Amino acid sequence: MGLILSRAAQWTSSCKLESAPLNEFLVTQVLNYVENFVSRHPQEAEHLFEEPLQWTTTLKKVDFKEDYVISAIGAKSLEKDSEGKPLLQYFPPFVSVRTISQLSKLLQLAADRKRQELQACLEENRDLIAKIVGQRLVNTPEENLSALELDIRVKLFILLKHIDEKILNKFVGEIAKQVKLLPAAVEEEVEFLKQYCTEGGKRLLKSLRYTSDYEFPNGCRAPPWRQLLGEICYVVIEPCDAEALYITCCSAGVFLNAGLDKEEDESLYERQGDFYEDMATLLKRVSPHFEKNVRKQYFVEQKPRKSIHVAHVDYEIEKAQPKTPEEREWEKVQQALYARKKREPCQRWRNLGVLSIFGSDEDLMMSAAEKKRLGSKTKVTMKVGLTAASSIGLTASQRRRSIVASLSEEHCSESSSESEEEEEQTERRPDTSTELQSEYWQVQKLVKYLKAADQTATVLVLCAMMDLDLMKEVIQLAILDLGGLELLLNLLDTTDIRSKIGSLKILAKISQNVIIRQTIVNMRGLQRMVNNLDLPVKELQALASETIAHVAKFRRARRTVRVHGGIRKLVKMLDCFHYSAKPGEDMEKNLEVARCGASALWSLSKSSKNKEAIRKAGGIPLLGLLLRSPYEKIAIPVVGTLQECASQKNYRVAIQNEGMVKDLVKNLSSDNEELQMLCASAIFKCAEDKLTRDLVRSHHGLQPLVSLLSKAENKQLLAAATGAIWKCSISMENVAIFQEYKALHMLIGLLTDQPEEVLVNVVGALGQFAQIQANKAAICNGGGIRALINLLNGTNQALLVNVAKAVGACATERDNVAIIDQLDGVRLVWSLLKNPNAEVQASAAWAICPCIENAKDAGEMVLFLIGGLKLIIQLLKSPSNEVLTSICAVIAKLAKDKEILGVLSDRGVVPLLAGLTNTTDDRLRCHLAEAIGHCCMWSSNRACFGDHGAVGLLVSYLESNDNLLLLNTTMALYQLSKDPNNIITMHEEGVVEPLVKLIASGTDEIQEFAAGCVRNIRLLVLANQRAIY
Amino acid sequence: MMEMTAKSKKLLHAQVEALLRKVEHFNKTEIENLILMFNTLMAEQVSRGRPANGLKRGKFRGVLQGTFEMTNAVMMDGVFRSFDKDGDGVIILEEWIRGLSVLLRGTLEEKIKHSFRVYDLNNDKYISKDEIFHMLKHSFIKWPSEEDPDEGIKDVVEITMKKMDLDHDGLLSYEDFEKSVLDENLFLQAFGPCLPEDTTIEKFEEVVFKEPEQ
């Protein structure tokens, strides 16, 4: 954090961090790293600082909880160093800490003030790193460090430096985003483009002019009141192949405006399209002619201009020259135009010392190919922006995260998870040129030999290459850039087995690099690997599939493997028990082949078409067979594939029918956390089905799931385990068993400080547990309800759905509603009705029902919610039946309160309900009839329902066999029959016959309502007769 | 197959029985077939003067080239040396059967021993840099004409030696070689092809090991 503090952060004169967005960004980044540091590097986190970090804290004595001893003067931690000194000491207003883990604990204590704390810490410890690892180490030259690496202090130092560098890289991107257009830059571009408005072959545009000739002293042409909005000037451009474009240039970029108003001849300022960073980019988008011709010409004709320093360099190098993130294919033009604009960030970057990382002049030494790649890379960087910046090393964990993230992968389509993966490449590698030198030459030499060598020498050169540190990005990319990758892939087409094996051994390693992966796909590498899968050489098969497993991390790659018949071959490789003549060595080789095959299938199974292909190739029974084998290392890819595929129904059925649940349960108790996680995740996905839930129980899988809850450190595992518990607890028998193992208590404990993917599942499970009477009180008393209600403030929709369900389940207990209301829970649940997601709306409405029912004074509670009833009425127009059903249920509850019913009636609830009566959805009918019945209690509502045609349709509901529906319908009809006109309608619809039948057969209540209704009809008939005679 | 007299049948039977006890990896029929092949080769061998008591270098090279698809002269001489245990310049029946048992069915360890003997050109139990250079000197086939290929080869020899010479004495002993191969199987034929390919073996066995027609 040395670099960022000294170079990147902006300081005020009093040594405080300015409250600038960039500083905030920095603090957030540092905060992230500190918070994750303990889990990632537990050992280093415990390392004692050379000097304690001390700062003025806002924490109070009361903030220090269990792990601290509180005394009259302050507090100190229970944790002590070897000399018995506490690792954290607090003497108000100062606090000093001596390990990273203490620092991170303290930040946790600070809760919502943690940013403030960290900022204070950074401000008062400008020489942070020196304090942590000692000044001497900081001054040690880089090259001496590696010799010392065993020392934990050195490791810590190197780690911190890495983090420093990472944050810095992200920071650079952040600055780049803030670059603004300046009037001068715009003017330059206009002048530049004007050159190409001439007649003739190189014409790009018909004309280009400003709307105003007057230029303000500040270089702007926009009227002053528009300048306030950052607008600089307006330009009219006529492209050769489109209508005139009216363009606004403002500091944030350029965009199309509404054009000229004929009468007033003044620009209409409204923005019509997207922002572009300059006019050329915009033109390129709207005018194909411009785009087509501009490439041809600019690069041929571009004349050196005063401000351009690169105009003479040829195109290839040019393309990748300045590695600024705002670079596009367009940079030539930009460079010409925005030399001034560019110099702005550049100055800043130079301060940061990053320019050398991104390459400047010394880059010219690199080959053109390297340039090209860097160019394309930065392009992508800029497209996806900073948000996705994630390190390449994270792929495995990303994969795991995506596993548990969504159960319904079918719906969210493959592309969602895949685009994420393609974004991996945004991470900019920090290769410095010194590092590059020796290893680069080494690779270059070997590639040269490889080109010349015959079979024997090829193998020797490949062996030499394997001795390089192939996991190092510099080397990976050197192999790529120097043409080594192509040679390696070409070897796969030869007949020499040993060369192929050597080549694949290298490919298997370097293909962990994203850029290499993509290049392999582009060079038809996957086809060649697939071709080698069915050669009868086991080592070759294993290596080829291992490499495929690495490469098939993005959709295009996965598709390629499928299209070239790779899946069939890989599935065949799983069949290792089939042709095993000799046990022993042979078996081991077969298993290794199967393991690699399964790994490849695991990667491939992220695409839904591939899941299908695996099934068609007969993969499921083979996977089941391997799952039963006692070899743990093979179980991981097998379960990985299965749980990935379990998003499809076919697989879930097969997992159930082929007896795989038993093996999944068995592996829950493995010592390998990854395997446990995958098994839990598979159960998570499969336990939607009742039979599977029962199988998990009968194979004693519930207890191991509960014991996984104690592994709070491994969040992926926790997410999968809680997910499995959630789905399994849909069966009440399972809840009872979970109870025996105290799962409820543990789940409540997981309601705070967990990532969302864990919370969703925990809350889902609590919702299920709360179906049991005793648990409702337990959740409320155990502090669970407070945590749940806090979660209602979140934004994650899946989480909100579950929280609403859980709160609703708790609210079915009368005493709990008072607590929920007191914690403002009712208002929060109600406000979820505003959420755009239908599922959230519905679950909120369902949760509201018991709240109303069990409230002491529902009327007061609801009328207090301003706009609450309006929301209810609005949702009666929802297109979702589930929402409509739940809202009808809410209305039925609400209408029991006269005052509320009055308001609802005023807001037109009757016509809306009547309009829904033509539905065919029985659940909706049921709650709708109930709502109608209860709404009859207000003045003219009965007649009003009749006027809107609800009565006749209600009669048709009597054809159903559903008792609840019949009850609600007869109740509604009974209420409606108090209006004579409704009786006439009912009679016309032939209501008497079904009613009479119900009097004979229905439950007591139904009989009563049906009889009441018939009575009303009869009374009307009698009255009529009396009137006649 | 030529007609056999009762006597020669008896002799054959005795040879088979004797070899069966001495050589691993083969069954009776297989040994029998290999003996017949040996006899055929012997009969084809044109000999001036006193008939040789075994296969001579030239004939043996013919077999390696024709049957096992080896082409490199240095390697073929090496394989001859590996077969010719007693170093008498001819391969007698037992050497023939033993050698083939390694080539066709040998365990990794047997193959390592074989390769080492092939690569130890001067039979001094060590492979030196010069020997390696000698074996590899024609391995750069597409070298830029303006550069000296020997430089590159020497570098490859240097790199390989550095990797395989585990005791750093500048020579590859059998132990060095064995450990290197066990660590990385690709080194088994590090300095040239001296074992037949799997497909070749398959073809050979198909032809030679077919059940004798009754």
Task: Give per-residue pLDDT as tens, A324-383.
Answer: 443 444 444 444 443 333 333 333 333 333 333 333 333 333 444 444 444 444 443 333
User: Does the beta-carbon distance from A453 to B140 stay under 8 Å?
Assistant: yes
The predicted structure's pLDDT at residue A784: 82
- What mean pLDDT comes out for the span A99-127? 82
HSE-up of A251 (CA within 13 Å, CB side)? 11
Q: Which residue of A has its CA nearest to B189?
A: A456
The predicted structure's pLDDT at residue A968: 92
**Is A451 near chain B, with CB under 8 Å?**
yes
Instruction: Let me know whether B118 and B86 are in one domain.
Output: no
Q: Which residue did the predictor score with more confidence, A671 or A262? A: A671
pLDDT at A458 over 90: yes
The predicted structure's pLDDT at residue A232: 82
Token pair 């208002």 in the structure block, residue: A827
> Tell me: the pLDDT tens digits for A685-700?
898 888 888 888 888 8
> Tell me: the pLDDT tens digits for B125-148?
999 999 999 999 888 888 777 778
The predicted structure's pLDDT at residue A359: 35
Instruction: Let me know whether B102 and B18 are in one domain.
Output: yes
> Tell me: the pLDDT tens digits for A983-1000?
888 888 888 888 888 888
Instruction: Let me know whether B91 and B32 are in one domain.
Output: yes
Q: Which residue of B has its CA nearest to A448?
A: B143
Instruction: Let me know whether B90 and B169 are in one domain.
Output: no
Q: Does residue B2 sit within a domain?
A: no
Q: Please say whether the beta carbons of A188 and A232 come within 8 A.
A: no
Q: Does residue B214 sit within a domain?
A: no
Q: Which residue did the predictor score with more confidence, A447 or A414? A: A447
Which of chain B's residues have a Cβ under 8 Å away from the Cβ of A536? Answer: 198
| Per-residue pLDDT band at A580 (split at 50, 70, 90) | very low
| Per-residue pLDDT band at A450 (split at 50, 70, 90) | very high
Q: Give the SS3 label for residue A69.
A: strand
The predicted structure's pLDDT at residue A614: 93
Q: Which residue did the predictor score with more confidence, A555 or A229? A: A555
Instruction: Count up the domains in chain B and report the number.
Output: 2
Instruction: Let me know whether B39 and B18 are in one domain.
Output: yes
Q: Does residue B135 sit within a domain?
A: yes
Instruction: Let me know whether B102 and B114 are in one domain.
Output: no
Which of chain A's residues have a Cβ under 8 Å away from the Cβ of B160? Answer: 460, 463-464
Instruction: Let me know whether B65 and B163 are in one domain.
Output: no
pLDDT at B15 over 80: yes
The predicted structure's pLDDT at residue A142: 63
DSSP string, chain B: -----HHHHHHHHHHHHHHHHH-SS--HHHHHHHHHHHHHHHHH---SSSPPSSEEHHHHHHHHHHHH----HHHHHHHHHHH-TT-SSEE-HHHHHHHHHHHHH--HHHHHHHHHHHH-TT-SS-B-HHHHHHHHTT-BSS--TTS-HHHHHHHHHHHHHHHH-TT-SSSB-HHHHHHHHHH-GGGGGTTS--S--HHHHHHHHHHHTSPPP-
Instruction: Let me know whether B79 and B19 are in one domain.
Output: yes
Q: Does residue B20 sit within a domain?
A: yes
- CATH code assigned at B27: 1.10.238.10
The predicted structure's pLDDT at residue B50: 64
> Tell me: the pLDDT tens digits for A190-218?
887 877 777 666 677 888 888 777 777 77
pLDDT at B24 over 60: yes
In percent, the amount of chain A with pLDDT more than 90 equals 18
**ipTM beyond cut 0.85:** yes
Instruction: Let me know whether B95 and B13 are in one domain.
Output: yes
**Is A115 near chain B, with CB under 8 Å?**
no
Domain span holding position B156: 110-189
The predicted structure's pLDDT at residue A173: 65
| Per-residue pLDDT band at B51 (split at 50, 70, 90) | low
Instruction: Let me know whether B44 and B146 are in one domain.
Output: no
> Tell me: the pLDDT tens digits for B86-123?
888 889 999 999 999 999 999 999 999 999 999 999 98
Dihedral, CA of residue A395, residue A401, residue A405 and residue A411, to nearest 10:
20
The predicted structure's pLDDT at residue A196: 74
HSE-up of B161 (CA within 13 Å, CB side)? 20
- What mean pLDDT comes out for the span A664-693? 89
Name the average pLDDT for chain A. 78
Instruction: Let me know whether B49 and B123 are in one domain.
Output: no
- What mean pLDDT comes out for the span A9-23? 66
| Per-residue pLDDT band at A745 (split at 50, 70, 90) | confident
The predicted structure's pLDDT at residue A381: 37
User: Which residues does B contribute to its contact with A (CB < 8 Å)?
Assistant: 135-136, 138-144, 149, 152-153, 155-156, 159-160, 163, 184-187, 189-193, 197-198
User: Does the beta-carbon distance from A464 to B153 stay under 8 Å?
Assistant: no
A867-875+901-1029 belongs to which homologous superfamily?
Leucine-rich Repeat Variant (1.25.10.10)
pLDDT at A446 over 90: yes
* Lowest-confidence segment of A482-486, A574-578, B38-42, B121-125 by average pLDDT: A574-578
Which of chain A's residues have a Cβ under 8 Å away from the Cβ of B140? Answer: 449, 452-454, 457
Give chain A's end-to-end CA distance (angstroms, integer): 102
Instruction: Let me know whether B95 and B129 are in one domain.
Output: no
Taking CB atoms and an 8 Å cut-off, how many pairs form between chains A and B?
66
Alpha-carbon distances, residue A931 vs A278, A832, B119 (angstroms): 59, 21, 94
Q: Which residue did the predictor score with more confidence, A759 or A362? A: A759
The predicted structure's pLDDT at residue A67: 78
The predicted structure's pLDDT at residue A757: 87
Q: Which residue did the predictor score with more confidence, A708 or A44? A: A708
